[in-house]
Amino acid sequence: MEENKNMENLAYEPENYSYKDLLDMKDKERYELIDGELYLLASPRVIHQVVVGEVYIQLKEYFKNKTCKPFIAPLDVRLSGVKNDNEEYNVVQPDTFVVCDEEKIDSRGILGAPDFIIEITSPSSETYDHVTKLNLYKKYKVKEYWIISLRFKIVDCYLLNDKNEYEARTYELTDEISSRLFEGLTINLKEVCEKNKKLLLEEENEPYISNT
Q: What CATH number has the domain bearing residue 155? A: 3.90.1570.10
Tell me if 2 is assigned to some domain. no
Tell me if 153 is assigned to some domain. yes
Between 150 and 210, where is the model more confident? Answer: 150
Q: What is the pLDDT of residues 161-201, one digit of tens each?
A: 999 999 999 999 999 999 999 999 999 999 999 999 999 99
Tell me if 55 is assigned to some domain. yes
Tell me if 211 is assigned to some domain. no
Interhelix angle 46-62/197-205, rounded to 10 degrees, is: 120
Q: Largest alpha-carbon pair distance within the chain? A: 46
CB 115 within 8 A of CB 100: yes
Within the chain, residue ranges assigned H as helices are 19-24, 46-62, 126-127, 133-139, 190-195, 197-205
Tell me if 103 is assigned to some domain. yes
What is the per-residue pLDDT for 211?
A: 47
Q: Above pLDDT 70, what percent of the chain? A: 90
Between 133 and 42, where is the model more confident? Answer: 133
Tell me if 131 is assigned to some domain. yes
Rounded CA-CA distance 65/69 in Å is 9
Q: What is the pLDDT of residues 107-160, one digit of tens each?
A: 999 999 999 999 999 888 889 999 999 999 999 999 999 999 999 999 999 999
Tell me if 19 is assigned to some domain. no
Count of the separate structural domains present in the chain: 1
Q: For residue 154, list its beta bridge partners.
A: 149, 172
What is the per-residue pLDDT for 5?
A: 45
Q: What is the pLDDT of residues 50-95, one digit of tens each?
A: 999 999 999 999 999 999 999 999 999 999 999 999 999 999 999 9
Helix-strand-coil split of the chain, %, nearest 5: 30, 25, 45
Task: Give the range of the structural domain holding residue 69, as residue numbers without chain letter.
Answer: 44-75+93-205
CB 198 within 8 A of CB 50: no
